[in-house]
Amino acid sequence: MINGEKRIGRPLRWAMIGGGRHSQVGYKHRTGALRDNTAFQLVAGAFDIDPERGKDFGVNLGVAEERCYPNYQSMFRNEAEREDGIEVVTIATPNGTHYEITMAALAAGLHVICEKPLTFTTAEAEEIQAFAEKQGKIVGVTYGYSGNILLLQMRAMIAQGKIGDIRMVELQYTHGFAATDENDRKSEGQKWRVDPKIAGPSFVLGDLATHTYYMSQLIMPQMKISKLLCDRQSFVGSRAPLEDNAYVMMHYENGAVGRMWTSAVNAGCMDGQRIRIVGSKASLEWWDSKPNELLYEVQGQPSQTLVRGMDYLDETVNAYERLAALHQEGLSDAWANLYLNIAIAIDAKERGDEETLNKLIYADINAGVEGVRWVETCVRSAENGSVWVNFDAGVPVTS
């Protein structure tokens, strides 16, 4: 159970780049990082592309005025000269800046927490991976809901053989908020999402599906994709070549098959992240709109709903329980778990504690690279006419 007591020696001195007043995601980072007050301390930031607005915002968050910087370059320079300078930085800016800022942060000797998708290309993501290794730093990636503890229950039950051999993997992350092009013109956060120069080679595959793909890996670490086929559409034509809807079919090395449906044009859908894993004996299903419940359906028996906070859950799950049964947890708690694990990883890395690092389940640099590789392979399949593409080699399957 988590009750806010410290898990590392002292809070890490933390800064944010982006995540400013009007950003979509900034507050989620702060609720996650500052939840327990014992893991991170927000001491500096370059919060906004507009320096004045960023400073005003930072001061309102309680950050000292002289540590609200106009850009990340001056923050890295000035903080490096302070004895109490920052140790870790979150990058919550649009996708096109992630590679450059992450590399600069690692060069400045900082641990990094970066938004997804980590980069545009696998080559860039692997460069970050190699540089982080060289610098001895952690790079965590914020797949938000991956901190939901019932995903750990799915992982434990699958490992214990509770559903038998995995046969089908059904993944979905859809919403309807971009069903028309209205927000492409009005909302700053949506404008860049459909601009390949800033968003990268995809819209919904990178924006939405990478979350669910990582969560499927967290649940089924043993499952490796052998090949995939992606069929993507731009129903709002002005978004082409970026897709606002995509279907991805996947074959796994163990013979299982899977599908991902991702969409921003699922009109009327308010919130739709779903994971259903079908085994030879039973199935498990989780929806983000019911984050406290896990459906367990054994063939031939009445279906069961496993509820968060109960003793019958695996001990790995209840180690992250925050509120106890009867009280509902949600996205903010998932983010808090995500950030707590990254703090523990940074602390362990600094102490050379490999045992702790190997045991921790969180979205590390490998998850960042894997997410980018998945999106890149999907785009390659779609651009070749929606053909099967070998996952590791990234080339169309010819036989």
Per CB under 6 A, residues contacting ligand NAI are 17-20, 22-25, 46, 48-49, 72, 92-95, 97, 115-116, 142, 144, 188-189, 207
**Gap between the Cα atoms of 5 and 271, Å rounded:** 33
The full DSSP string for 111-164 is EEEEPSS--SSHHHHHHHHHHHHHHT--EEE--GGGG-THHHHHHHHHHTTTT-
Nearer to ligand NAI, 189 or 255 (CB): 189
Contact predicate 395/169, CB 8 Å: no
Q: How far is the CB of 154 from ligand NAI (least distance, A)?
A: 20
Nearer to ligand NAI, 95 or 318 (CB): 95
At how many degrees (to 10) do helices 122-135 and 365-383 cross?
170
Q: How far is the CB of 97 from ligand NAI (least distance, A)?
A: 5
Nearer to ligand NAI, 150 or 158 (CB): 150
Q: How far is the CB of 187 from ligand NAI (least distance, A)?
A: 8
Q: How far is the CB of 239 from ligand NAI (least distance, A)?
A: 16
**Gap between the Cα atoms of 70 and 390, Å rounded:** 44
Q: How far is the CB of 255 from ligand NAI (least distance, A)?
A: 32
SS3 of residue 105 by DSSP: helix
Q: How far is the CB of 27 from ligand NAI (least distance, A)?
A: 9
Q: How far is CA 68 from CA 44, 52, 73, 288, 332, in A?
A: 6, 9, 12, 35, 25
Measured in degrees and rounded to the nearest 5, phi and psi for residue 170 equal -110, 115
Nearer to ligand NAI, 100 or 314 (CB): 100
Closest to 272 measured CA to CA, from 371, 173, 176, 190: 173
Q: How far is the CB of 115 from ligand NAI (least distance, A)?
A: 4
Q: How far is the CB of 149 from ligand NAI (least distance, A)?
A: 17
| Positive/negative CA dihedral, 236, 237, 239, 245 | positive
Nearer to ligand NAI, 46 or 256 (CB): 46
Nearer to ligand NAI, 48 or 376 (CB): 48
H/E element holding 316? helix 315-318
Q: How far is CA 388 from CA 109, 130, 224, 253, 346, in A?
A: 41, 29, 16, 14, 39
Instruction: Give the DSSP letter of residue 306.
Output: E
Amino acid at 397: V
Cβ-Cβ contacts under 8 Å for 398 (sequence gap 6 or more) = none
Q: How far is the CB of 145 from ligand NAI (least distance, A)?
A: 7
Nearer to ligand NAI, 25 or 249 (CB): 25
Q: How far is the CB of 144 from ligand NAI (least distance, A)?
A: 3
Nearer to ligand NAI, 146 or 318 (CB): 146
**Gap between the Cα atoms of 209 and 174, Å rounded:** 8
Nearer to ligand NAI, 256 or 345 (CB): 345
Measured in degrees and rounded to the nearest 5, phi and psi for residue 95 equal -50, -40
Nearer to ligand NAI, 129 or 273 (CB): 273
**Gap between the Cα atoms of 243 and 202, Å rounded:** 6
